[in-house]
Amino acid sequence: MSSLRTLVFFATPAHDCSYLPDREATTMFVDPRAQIDKKLYSQLTSLGFRRSGSHYYRPHCEACNACIPVRLNVTDFQPDRSQRRVLKKNSDVECRLVPAVFDENYYRLYANYVELRHKDGDMYPPSREQFTSFLVEGAMDSWFLEMRIDGALIGLAAIDSLDDGLSAIYTVFDPTYEHRSLGTFAVLWQIEETRRRNLPHLYLGYWIKQCRKMNYKTRFRPIEALRSGQWQTIDIA
């Protein structure tokens, strides 16, 4: 089994940034041949890495540090008025954790979400192979949170379990239920699940101040950012 000491890292050539226009990005990733267990995955996450399928990566841009890893201290979190409204609005949603596996109903929800909301992104056009390589391959202690109303699947959140918390990987939902703010609801559910497991952190991936699509992450407070190798509580206001 690999360890932090024995891991080998590679960097991609510079490519167009997916989040900020007119910028180039470079990504550092772990050697795909490395044997990653939950302990090592947890260590990598605490160092700012993320998982996409079987790949573990983090931004490694020479002239830009806009991508900031963030996590939530769930012990101190209290929902604000808007988040309490989201919880009340979705009190009829049935939530269930299931193993992260391919299912045609999951894929259809994913494909519909990508086609209607992310035609300008690098996940378009969606495919079954893409869904599998992104959300199913490399699954370790990985789960899907099903969100249903009267048995109908309306949302799906991919979640990884770590030694010190949960990692929110990705959330999709039926766009006809956009008024329910299911993305926010999924994070709120994961906060409570992290607390139920007596774990301290919910990892939310990267935050980019200039990227409007990522603003929702900083509405969960107290938010911590990884800067200069240290996790620090930041005041977004």
Sorting pLDDT into bands at 50, 70 and 90, what band is 99?
very high
Q: Calculate what percentage of the chain has a pLDDT beyond 70.
A: 98
pTM equals: 0.95
Mean pLDDT, range 25-38, rounded to an integer: 96
- Between CA 134 and CA 122 the distance in angstroms is 12
In this model, does residue 234 exceed pLDDT 90? no
Does domain 70-103+136-233 sit in CATH 3.40.109.10?
no
Taking only the tens place, the pLDDT of each residue in 181-201 is 999 999 999 999 999 999 999
Domain map (residue ranges) of the chain: 9-65, 70-103+136-233
Mean pLDDT, range 119-130, rounded to an integer: 84
Q: Which residue has the higher pLDDT, 60 or 215?
A: 60
